Amino acid sequence: MAATTSDTDSGFSTINVTPLVDIVLVLLIIFMVTAKLIVSQTLPMDLPKAAQGEQQQIVFSVGIDRNGAVTVDGKSVSDRSAVLSLAVAAKKKSADVRAVIQADQNVTHGNVVRVMDELKQAGIAKIAFGVVAETGK
């Protein structure tokens, strides 16, 4: 006698993967939508802290006029190395010091980058640029 095999003896011979693929695609869509929402809600912002009591926000102001002359906190600076030493002193006074660069629009890009580099060397990471709002739009 020849042995015959029947379908009832072999059990499950195939696995239906259609429900698995459906679930994976739904999860993929959910992750794509939520990832876009999470990224749009977490834009990098440098929000100011509220001043309490005697704590005040210290701003280190650097001005560059059209001739390239540099002023720090309203006082004229003779050489570029003085900006670095003054920035280091301001960083020692307050770890949360913020720098504002106010440069004339005719100042060369290199002068502004040089000042930014000196501020970064001093450890000041929070740097902003002073601008004047346009009127008459």
DSSP for 85-109, please give it. HHHHHHHHH-TT-EEEEEE-TTS-H
Q: How confident is the model at residue 72 (pLDDT cuts 50, 70, 90)?
A: confident
Q: How confident is the model at residue 108 (pLDDT cuts 50, 70, 90)?
A: confident
Q: Which residue has the higher pLDDT, 5 or 84?
A: 84
pLDDT above 50 for 41 = no
Task: Examine residue 6 and state whether it is found in any structural domain, yes or no.
Answer: no
Helix H segments across 1-137?
Answer: 7-10, 18-41, 80-93, 109-121
Domain hosting 83: range is 59-129
Q: How confident is the model at residue 27 (pLDDT cuts 50, 70, 90)?
A: very high
Tokens representing residue 109 in the block: 């890009």
Task: Examine residue 47 and state whether it is found in any structural domain, yes or no.
Answer: no
Q: Which pTM value belongs to this model?
A: 0.54
Domain count, the chain: 2
